[in-house]
Amino acid sequence: MSNYSIPYGSRTAKTKTPFRLIVSADTTATSLVTTPAAGNAPTVNVAGCSDFHKARLIIGGVGADGQAGEYQIILWYPMEIKSKGAQYLPVVTVHGTFTLGPMAMPTGIVASGLFADTVTDDTAFNGLVTHSPADDNVGMVEIDLRGANYVTVETKLGTVATSVYVFIQFGD
């Protein structure tokens, strides 16, 4: 069985999905939301994750090597409220910064984008690992999904010139 033959949303033991785009050409320059409101399921920069235990994220952007931005990862947990039906509680689990490195993103995604080679976290969330290779390879965030139904990612340009892209991969 190939690791890449699994449709999104289905799960079998020891599987993973391919990386897919969750944030495409985000140009947000304002501050990130520190306390998202509980309520309906999220609709922007979202991926369903209830079938998986872990996620890996890689970040890229259109800008120059050394330019930086911010990101945050929000996990959405189900709540049952009889008068309202399914509702979701958002929890900001990761907030940090990223810095673009010299490695180019595939031109099929964006003509002149670079992957982040430095990814940091300032939340100390238990179940999180950030990778920032010293050799200018792609940086990565790995997070334990802890039973969430959805994951959303928000980004802020910072000094990144034009736009930000985030890719996500799910697995066990």
pLDDT tens readout for residues 13-23: 458 899 999 99
Residue 12 lies in a domain: no
Residue 14 lies in a domain: no
Q: Return the structure tokens found at 119.
A: 């990814």
pLDDT over threshold 80, residue 8: no
| Average predicted confidence (pLDDT) for the chain | 87
Q: What is the pLDDT of residues 25-40, one digit of tens each?
A: 888 888 888 778 888 8
Tell me, what's the pLDDT at 4? 35
Residue 2 lies in a domain: no
pLDDT over threshold 70, residue 112: yes
**Model pTM?**
0.86
Q: What is the pLDDT of residues 119-133, one digit of tens each?
A: 999 987 788 888 898
Q: Return the structure tokens found at 122.
A: 């300032």
Residue 111 lies in a domain: yes
Range of the domain at 28: 20-171
Tell me, what's the pLDDT at 126? 80
Angle at 74 between CA 57 and CA 162, to 5 degrees: 60
Tell me, what's the pLDDT at 14? 55
Tell me, what's the pLDDT at 49? 94
Residue 52 lies in a domain: yes
Tally of structural domains, the chain = 1
Residue 4 lies in a domain: no
pLDDT above 90 coverage of the chain, percent:
58
CA 56 – CA 165 distance, rounded (Å)? 14
Tell me, what's the pLDDT at 76? 95
Residue 15 lies in a domain: no
Residue 158 lies in a domain: yes
Strands (E), 27-127: 46-48, 54-62, 68-81, 85-104, 113-119
